[in-house]
Structure 1
Amino acid sequence: MRYLPIDPSLFVQNRQRLTALLKPNSLVVLNANDIMPTNADGTMTFRQNNDLFYLTGVDQEETQFVLFPDHPDPKFREVLFLRETSEQIEIWEGHKLTKAEAEQVTGLPQRQIYWTHQFEQVFGQMVFEAEQVYLNTNEHTRATIDVQTRDARFVDEFRQRYPLHRLERLAPLMHHLRAIKQPLEIPLIQTAIDITDRMFRRLLTFVKPGVWEYEIEAEMMHEFLRHRSRGTAYSPIIASGANSCVLHYVDNSQQCQAGDVLLLDLGAEYANYNADMTRTLPVNGRFTARQRAVYDAVLRVMKEAKQMLRPGNLWDDYHREVGKIMESELIGLGLLDRHEVAKQNPDAPLYKKYFMHGTSHFLGLDVHDVGNKYRRMEPGMVFTVEPGIYIREEKLGIRLENNVLLTDSGNIDLMANIPLEAEEIEGMMSEK
């Protein structure tokens, strides 16, 4: 892996925390993600199943993990299955984890590490002792799943082989655990943010009229890759002019023109953890009066929303209050009429014309990380704060986004060191 070794105590503690949530005499099975095909004999870059990684730290394909805390035999209480390597694999694909290396990564003793081809033999000595079996599925509320995953295939296979076992859903437990970041996770997220910071400072001296959006993307990737990141946390949005009003614009194919703004939604990945940052720049280095007015309005909403992220708050209540702040700013910009707002349908607020997405989402191993919006906010949660105003008729879109950690003593802006104020942006862009 490109990233530095992670303290295995993180994964040991994560397994202990999951164990505490299980019903007595329960067995848990997790599977690695597939390597997905492209065309012919091509494949996509492998990305590990985040729940498996969270519990083991193993970042390798064809991995399985079985947790059975109440098994009578201690060696079957935590069992890892790895793809066995060979000289042929070493020649064609490179190094795979040995059992000794897996012990260092996971904190599991080698006697509890097997090869994947031994799964059925070992699993047969475990499964019949369990009263219920927790299997994993993707239950993210925004997920669109058209391709069957390895976890989903395992559910089908398990039902055929063991039809009398009682199945339980693992996802709610993992969502509950992963929503609260552990002390060892925060530095990993911070490293992804620090790499993003270096990238953004590089772009501030690179952006100018005439540069192409894809050239900016190239500068971004250069900075990410040279700091142990595998690349972007998500498809980067590099959107100039009218493109800044397209929420998920990823073509990055237009030339930046003087007088336009450039919306950058970019974040680095590090050790499977993610940063999620948005900044908006004046292509020529100075905002027009109108651009500055909209920028400052978004920044004020961002600052107020950030203060509202605190333990005890509820997701929907928070977003409603942010909407009221945005309404006031849009009225001040002449985009909404105060009297019309007073008469609006509360279920279809008028501000949605110019600010149509949410302000915050969970952040962690997934960019839109797992969590339950009906759960009150708690210390250890990490959220984005990303208000925006999009005026399509003016070809002007401005969004700003930072990542915030909730604590008992207030929230911590993990991106506080990344330039944000308009004067600071303009000043750094003038240093070309």
Structure 2
Amino acid sequence: MKYPQINQDLFILNRKNFIKELKDNSLAIFQSQDEFPRSGDQNFVFKQNPDLFYLTGIDQEQTILLLYPDCPNPLYRQVLFLRQTNDYIKVWEGYKYTKEQAKATSGIESIFWLEDFDNILHSIVNYADNIYLNTNENDRYAHTVPYRDIRFIEQMRSKYPLHHYERSAPIMRGLRAVKSDVEVELTKKACGITRDAFERVLKFIKPGVKEYEIEAEIIHEFIRQGGTGHAYTPIIASGHNANILHYIDNNQECKAGDVILFDFGAEYANYNADMSRSVPVNGKFTQRQKDVYNAVLHVMKEATKLLVTGTVWNTYHEQVGEIMTEQLVNLGLLSTADVKNQNPAWPAYKKYFMHGTSHHLGIDVHDFAGRYTSFAAGNILTVEPGIYIPEEGLGIRLENNILITATGNIDLMADIPVEAAEIEDIMNG
């Protein structure tokens, strides 16, 4: 791991909060993520199941967590199963957790090798009334691949068909949305690395540079500071490319007179930053570019003010839409007649701002949280308005990460340059 070990108190508390939500005499099982093939003899870099990491801090493949707080055998009330290392693995793959290291990381006392899982489970499962199993219930995920959780559910139902099965995901949805102080600090670290990468590229950009050269500067800074890498595939979209919302080719030349739309963030200790900025290739906005830029910045600032406890998703997005509509009229992109005659199901502003304004942020970039749950203290959300004008070859998006507290909100990216004049000063300094 590139990051220092996180204090086990975080994971002990997370398990305690999860266990509180279980029905009496229930057993819960969490699986690590699959290892996915990248080529004939290689896997993609492993990424831990976020729920398992949230409950254990274990960042390794082939790991299982078993929780059975009412187990008649105290040894099996919290159990962690690990892949056992050997001399071959040490030579070819290197570091794997020892039992002692796993105990120190997770705070779990009962550590066994993975080969013991079936026997231990079978010795206690018939004393449990309910079995909680996990799946990916993120609203943005469409299930097409029978991943490890799905396969495990089929195995359990085959072996133990008469047990009562419950879903762990609704519990995790509520818990993961509210960040602890430790999680906030890890997110701040990811934001700080992202800031340094952005300031690095501001001094690097000039006409003729390739988008992928900018991407290389970003990952250099991420890795140099101990980040795991990109929180998601970065967008380095110059000129017309900025109107492709998920443009990731990053293979074009950046030309004088164009604006580059960035959307990137660092991952640190499995926690993520998510930032968008738009900058002029030649270091100076045209007046039109600056007008559009300042309109987006105004919407971002006003939307941020709305992120307080009790805010409801739909109401929030409707309010942001009204703010954006006013700016688009001022820019001459919409007329008052367009607004008056708009279809309420697809308001006029959607022609130029077609995506949502915010999403939860955490162990997942689009973090697991309730779409119909009002915002609460401890939520971290993005604010990312944009205006996209294909006919002008211009797309502007700005995005910061906001922590909601009981007394207001805190911009975790307040120290990242965002004012147009500040961007120009750094690029020309």
Please indicate the TM-score interval, normalised by the length of the shorter structure.
Answer: over 0.9
Q: CA deviation at 1:291?
A: 0.2
What letter is aligned with 2:47? R
Equivalent in the alignment of 1:396:
394
Equivalent in the alignment of 2:285:
287
Q: CA deviation at 1:21?
A: 0.8
In structure 1, what is the Cα distance between the partners aligned to 2:270 and 2:320? 30
In structure 2, what is the Cα distance between the partners aligned to 1:214 and 1:313? 39
Matched residue SS, 2:181: coil
Q: 2:188 aligns with which of 187, 190, 193?
A: 190
User: What is the Cα-based RMSD across aligned positions, in Å?
Assistant: 0.7
In structure 2, what is the Cα distance between the partners aligned to 1:345 and 1:252? 35
Equivalent in the alignment of 2:14:
14
Equivalent in the alignment of 2:36:
36
In structure 2, what is the Cα distance between the partners aligned to 1:87 and 1:340? 70
The question of 1:300 aligning with 2:298 is answered yes
Matched residue SS, 2:4: coil
Please say if residues 316 and 373 of structure 1, whose CA atoms lie closer than 8 Å, have aligned partners that are also in contact: no
Matched residue SS, 2:413: coil
Q: CA deviation at 1:70?
A: 1.1
Count of residues in correspondence between the two structures? 429
Q: CA deviation at 1:39?
A: 2.0
The question of 1:324 aligning with 2:322 is answered yes
Q: CA deviation at 1:41?
A: 0.9
- Of stretches 121-130 and 43-52 in structure 1, the one that deviates more from structure 2 is 121-130
What letter is aligned with 1:229? G
In structure 1, what is the Cα distance between the partners aligned to 2:151 and 2:183? 30
In structure 2, what is the Cα distance between the partners aligned to 1:321 and 1:365? 28
Q: 2:262 aligns with which of 261, 264, 275?
A: 264
Q: Where in structure 2 are the equivalents of 1:162-173 lying within 5 Å?
A: 162-173=160-171
Matched residue SS, 1:125: helix
Please say if residues 314 and 373 of structure 1, whose CA atoms lie closer than 8 Å, have aligned partners that are also in contact: no
The question of 1:4 aligning with 2:4 is answered yes
In structure 2, what is the Cα distance between the partners aligned to 1:143 and 1:19? 26
In structure 2, what is the Cα distance between the partners aligned to 1:145 and 1:426? 44
Equivalent in the alignment of 1:228:
226
Please say if residues 278 and 399 of structure 1, whose CA atoms lie closer than 8 Å, have aligned partners that are also in contact: yes
- Of stretches 65-74 and 420-429 in structure 1, the one that deviates more from structure 2 is 65-74
The question of 1:97 aligning with 2:97 is answered yes
In structure 1, what is the Cα distance between the partners aligned to 2:226 and 2:125? 40
Q: CA deviation at 1:345?
A: 1.6
Q: CA deviation at 1:145?
A: 2.7
- Of stretches 70-79 and 156-165 in structure 1, the one that deviates more from structure 2 is 70-79
Q: 1:161 aligns with which of 142, 154, 159?
A: 159
Q: Where in structure 2 are the equivalents of 1:139-154 lying within 5 Å?
A: 139-154=137-152
Please say if residues 261 and 281 of structure 1, whose CA atoms lie closer than 8 Å, have aligned partners that are also in contact: yes
**Residue deviations 1:115-166, cap 9 Å, x none?**
0000011111221111111100111111123221111110010011111111
In structure 2, what is the Cα distance between the partners aligned to 1:103 and 1:347? 53
4+ residue runs over 4 A deviation: none
Q: CA deviation at 1:181?
A: 0.3
In structure 2, what is the Cα distance between the partners aligned to 1:106 and 1:42? 29
The question of 1:371 aligning with 2:347 is answered no
The question of 1:107 aligning with 2:107 is answered yes
In structure 2, what is the Cα distance between the partners aligned to 1:126 and 1:55? 21
In structure 2, what is the Cα distance between the partners aligned to 1:384 and 1:159? 39
Q: Where in structure 2 are the equivalents of 1:190-229 lying within 5 Å?
A: 190-229=188-227
In structure 2, what is the Cα distance between the partners aligned to 1:65 and 1:314? 34
Any gaps of 5 or more consecutive residues in structure 1? none
